[in-house]
Amino acid sequence: MAGGAQGSGVDTAANIFGKACGYGGLYVFGRREYHSNIKGLHSYFHLRISPDEILANINDVNLLAAFDAETVVRHINEVVPGGGVIIGSQQVNTKVLDIRTLPPEFKAQLVKFMEENGVGETLNDWLNHAKKRNVTVFPVPYMELLNQIGEKLGIEKISKITRMINVLTIGVSFALFKYDRSLAEKAVRETFAAKGKIAEMNVLALNHAYDYAEEHFKDSFKHRIEKTAVEEERLFLTGNQAVAMGKVLGGCRVQTYYPITPAADESEYLEAHQIMKTAAEDEAIVVVQTEDEIAAINSASGAALAGARAATSTSGPGFSLMTEGLSWAGKSEVPVVITYYQRGAPATGLPTRNGQADLRFVMHAGHGEFPRIILASGDIQECFYDAAKVFNLAEKYQMPVIHLLDKAMANCSQTYPVFDYGNFKIDRGAVLTEKDLEGKEYKRFRLTETGVSPRVMLGTKGGVHWYTGDEHNETGHISEEPLNRRLMMEKRMKKLDLVEKEVPAEDKLKFFGDPNSENVVVSWGSPKGAIIESIDLLKQEGFSLGFVQMRLLNPLPAEEATKVLAGKKRIIDIEDNYLGQLGGVIKEKTGIAPNFHILKYTGRPMTTTEVHAALKKILTGKAAEREVLMFGS
Amino acid sequence: MGLKPSDFRTDVFADWCPGCGDFGIMNGLQMAFAELGLQPYQIAVVSGIGCSGKEAHNVKAYGVHTLHGRTLPFATGIKVANPHLEVVAIGGDGDGLGIGAGHFVNTGRRNLDMTYIIHNNGVYGLTKGQASPTLQREMQTKSLPKPNINEAVNAIGLAVISGYTFAARSYAYDVRHLRDMIVQGVKHKGLAFIECLQPCPSYNNITTKAWYAGEDRKDANGKPQSRLYKLQETGFDPVVSDWSEDFQKKMAALDKAREWGDRIPIGVFYKNELEPTFQERLAKRIPFYMDRPPAKQNLCDTKGLSTVDLSEFMKNLKTS
């Protein structure tokens, strides 16, 4: 784990570290935590590394690279016996309670810990306390190292190169792990590739730190990271990046957005890669930063009516503003996609943290009754494929689709074999062209058996029609006639039956673990990885469990859900919210209620460690009906 | 073959009050489209909420009757996706300058090549006559319980300083003038704003047809002295032909926009085609934008397979 003040290069350090591990054929899972702040408050990046696939994070830290004193007090107790802490030598005399960025409620916790454990007031006292647990401290004289590096580079002003402390930390870390330094060099070069000679300066700094650590710390750290030979090509990416790529694959050609955490990175990434190669001519996506989220959804709807595959991307506060537009899109049968990254709510809430408290909201958002599809991804790979699929759903069934994600997936990074996307099919649903329309009268909302009326894009010759937010007749003009109203309501709503019938099974729900077990976990979204890993661990310990990952959340596939949940002794609902919203929806749609809940609403994603422990408590009869998880700073 | 104004009619009953200015604006649109030589399928009329919102149903063209205040965001999306469509956004004064004021300003910043017409009658008609953002302070139209406590927004002024590159005003009962303004607005390269003054015979008993016509101020011969006068007949030149003139032309437009009361100018206040349109700005980033805009891209091959090559995206994400 690397931690420090925001703006001090924690992210860059972690990304270089992750990259270097990736070059060595290793799987990496990275969890990024940060405050709603530009510079100064605590942030950290927890990387888990393994030769085998990793699906989630765990509580344990083997090596803590602390850029500042706050990182030590926040995370030292996560460092396992046998683990280590890298800290700047000059930091150790810091008086812990003098750290200005610590909020009072956290200081109170520290005071309590210090009293209970007899820990003194300086950071050194804290480090000595950890040493009793067999944690090794690696003090690094960063300023001294920088002076030496400055000399080598002919730079007198050390303040010019203090930014490189993060790279020094990487050098020390890899030396402790005895990891192949050439891979670290490669990662540094790649990271600073666009910055000219900065890259080589950082390589030099990396090696200087590596040498220093080898010389001074020798074999005092026992953990190792070893590269392995791997043939397959892999990606190391975030959910934001996966969604952006999926959208382009799925044919998204207009994306609108208003800046919001944790969604905006996706739009920026899309804009940076605006022009894409295809088998034929280049194509391009237009990314429009609108004045607010109201404009974002309505511009996306406009673009969709004109015939572009269009999406907008947002989080809770932004979606709140979109609800009127959603209602218009649902009523006007607009194939618009909303990518929704949930974060800690309500209100501004925990704007840079995780949450899954908006399921009920997206199910019901917007006035009136209208059809919508909600598809929830559970990991970064699903983010990619789902981001493409949702455009097919939107156009086939002519309704808004909400692709429901969360901050944990947006900002976590994970290693995957390169995505295979050659077989992705575009299905634009029923669309009439100029040729189809020749000599025929066209009605946009013609009543049909399935409720789906063939669409004509604005601007098509022979297809003039109208849209309105009022109730409309078949032509699209305003109508308040009772019979027409009934027919139009039924036409729109029955499209959901078609969705429920036609969506492939794996997009409705996925089942993992033992289908014959009397215990079943039900969940959605980012807890997926921690749940799968926990089930594997529990299997090794002799406990059997199944896991239903719900994906299609509206219309909820009640029949399929009933099949996997009915008759189970323990149904354990796991969600990042207070109410157990999915559990409630399942009860409403199937009559089957979960009898245990594992919930977390601290804004930090679930780890395998805590999910495993909570499940074990439940399976051994030691748990309350409601287990609330707390891990993570 | 050119179409007649009547070719742009629909058989939808226009349910405005007798004497409503919306009839004039509807006619003005139909006449302008005919004069421009457009076909109905080449046009998208995007409207908001209120009496004026229904106008989209009375014009034969693609019609998108949207939400209160959101006319411009819908129009923006449509135009960005298909820049070859002639997009004409229409809405009320409350729609565009009250609930939609944020969009009014920000759409100006983009200078999309489309036209926006605001129906300005000073009241919210469909909700029975509350004060709209263009009603002058201290005026008490007939359904207001008290005189209007808020200052009025100056629509032309706001358009000019928000980046609209064409700003004009017309009058619903001078349909020929209105037609000319719409024709000029549509032909203008860039975002055109047209404020159309109109009486509301049901709720605005102050700025009525008779008031605009000046029936309360007759000359010696008993002839009413219209309050409206045509800017261009006074030799006012709104056109920016070189950037060095821009500030001065904007100031002149603002100065004219301040006139109200006994002399109200109609005509073109400001026009600048030097400013690149949003389409031109996009085409700088995407050279083929106009040939293959978002709505006209292929997305897939003949088998339906997505043809996108993601290798550029993946290059920096690969671990080898």
Rounded Cα gap, residues B76 and B82, in angstroms: 10
| Last residue in a domain, options A502, A529, A561 | A502
Cβ-defined contact of A465 to B63 (cutoff 8 Å): yes
Residue ending a domain, among A217, A252, A274, is A217
- Please tell me if residue B309 touches chain A, with a CB cutoff of 8 Å: yes
Q: Under an 8 A CB cutoff, do A308 and B39 touch?
A: no
Asked whether residue A188 is assigned to any structural domain, the reply reads yes
Q: Which amino acid is at B73?
A: P
Per-residue pLDDT tens digits for B131-163: 999 999 999 999 999 999 999 999 999 999 999
Do A278 and A185 share a structural domain? no
Question: A87 with A139: CB under 8 angstroms?
Answer: yes
Which chain B residues are within 8 Å of A244, Cβ to Cβ?
313
Cβ–Cβ gap A477/B57 under 8 Å:
yes
Range of the domain at A472: 434-502
- On whether both A153 and A208 belong to a single domain, the answer is yes
Task: Say what the pLDDT of residue B2 is.
Answer: 86
Peptide bond before residue B238 is cis, with ω within 30 degrees of 0: no
Question: For A261-288, how does the pLDDT look when each residue is reduced to its tens digit (9 = 90+)?
Answer: 999 999 999 999 999 999 889 999 999 9
Q: Are A456 and A442 in contact (CB under 8 A)?
A: yes
Whether residues A269 and A332 share a domain: the answer is: yes
CATH 3.40.50.970 describes domain B5-281: yes
**Beta-bridge partner residues of A416:** A235
With contact defined as beta carbons under 8 Å apart, do A249 and B308 qualify?
A: yes
Residues A470 and A578 in one domain: no
Give the tens place of pLDDT for each residue, A165-184: 999 999 999 999 999 999 99
pTM: 0.97
Chain A residues within an 8 Å CB radius of B82: 306-308, 457-459
In chain A, % of residues over pLDDT 70: 100
Question: Average pLDDT for residues A510-524, to the nearest whole number?
Answer: 98
Q: Are residues A51 and A12 located together in one domain of the fold? A: yes
Domain boundaries, chain B: 5-281
Phi, psi at B206, each rounded to 5°: -110, -65
Side chain identity at residue A358, one-letter code: D
A424 vs B84: CB contact, 8 Å cut-off? no
Instruction: Tell me, yes or no, whether A472 and A620 share the same domain.
Output: no
Residues 6+ apart with CB under 8 A from B93: B118, B119, B120, B121, B122, B132, B133, B134, B155
Backbone phi, psi, residue A44, to 5°: -150, 160
pLDDT score of A156 more than 90? no
* DSSP H or E run through A127: helix A123-131
The reply to whether omega before B40 is within 30° of 0 (cis) is no
Q: What is the pLDDT of residue B320?
A: 82
Smallest Cβ distance to A278: which of B66, B79, B307? B307
Query: Considering chain A, what is the average pLDDT of its residues?
Result: 97
- Domain annotation covers residue A111: yes
Residue A56 · residue A78 · CB < 8 Å:
no
Whole-number Å distance between alpha carbons of A57 and A45: 11
Q: Which amino acid is at B68?
A: H
The SS3 assignment for B177 reads helix
A92 and A47 in a single domain? The answer is: yes
Q: Phi, psi at residue A59, to the nearest 5°?
A: -75, -35
Residue of B nearest to A191 (CA): B316
Distances (CA, A) of A555 to A325, A401, A498, A560: 20, 11, 10, 12
Question: Do B136 and B128 meet the contact criterion of CB atoms below 8 Å apart?
Answer: no
DSSP secondary structure letters along A435-497: HHHTT----TT---SSS---B--TT-TT---EEESS-B-TTS-B---HHHHHHHHHHHHHHHH
**In which band, very low, low, confident or very high, does the pLDDT at B1 lie, cut at 50, 70 and 90?**
low
- Do both A206 and A91 map to the same domain? yes
pLDDT (0 to 100) of residue B316: 86
User: Cβ contact (<8 Å) for A302 and B64?
Assistant: yes
> Residue A50 has what pLDDT?
97
Tokens of A514: 């033992």
Contact B305 A253 (CB under 8 A): no
Q: Which of residues 280-299 of B touch A (CB under 8 A)?
A: 282, 285-286, 288-289, 292-299
In chain A, which residues have their Cβ closer than 8 Å to the Cβ of B78?
Answer: 302-303, 305-306, 458
Q: How confident is the model at residue A160 (pLDDT cuts 50, 70, 90)?
A: confident
Q: Note whether residue A226 is domain-resident.
A: no
Provide the total of helices (H) and of strands (E) in chain B, helices listed first: 10, 12
Instruction: Please count the residue pairs, one from chain A and one from chain B, whose beta carbons lie less than 8 angstroms apart.
Output: 262
Of A444, A448, A338, A451, whose CA–CA distance to B65 is shortest? A444
Which residues face B168 on adjacent strands?
Answer: B194, B268
Residues A17 and A41 occupy one common structural domain: yes
Give the angle B197-B202-B204 at the CA atoms, nearest 5°. 50
Q: Is residue A164 part of a domain?
A: yes
**Is the same domain home to A475 and A566?**
no
A273·B61 Cβ contact <8 A: no
The answer to whether residue A230 sits within a structural domain is no
pLDDT digits (tens, 9 = 90+) for B37-87: 999 999 999 999 999 999 999 999 999 999 999 999 999 999 999 999 999
A467 to B310: CB separation less than 8 angstroms, yes or no: no
One domain for residues A207 and A78 = yes
End-to-end CA distance of chain A: 12
Using the structure block, give the residue that is written with the tokens 């020798």.
A218
pLDDT of residue B243: 98
- Considering the domain architecture, whether residues A495 and A538 belong to the same structural domain is answered as no
A459–B67 CB contact, under 8 Å: no
CA A329 to chain CA mean position, Å: 26
Q: Which of B57, B62, B299 sits opposite A458 (nearest CB)?
A: B62
- Domain count along chain A: 4
The stretch B194-218 carries a mean pLDDT of: 97
Cα–Cα distance between A220 and A574 in angstroms, integer?
41
| CATH number of the domain encompassing residue A354 | 3.40.50.970
Non-local CB neighbours of B249 within 8 Å, separated by 6+ positions: B238, B239, B240, B270, B272
Query: Residue A38: which CATH number?
Result: 3.40.920.10
Question: CB distance B306–A290 less than 8 Å?
Answer: no
Q: How far apart are CA A359 and CA A554, in angstroms?
A: 10
Q: At which of A458, A485, A502 does a domain end?
A: A502
Asked whether this complex has an ipTM greater than 0.90, the answer is yes
Tell me whether B311 touches chain A (CB under 8 Å). Answer: yes
Task: List C-alpha distances in Å: B140 to B2, B132, B263.
Answer: 46, 12, 21
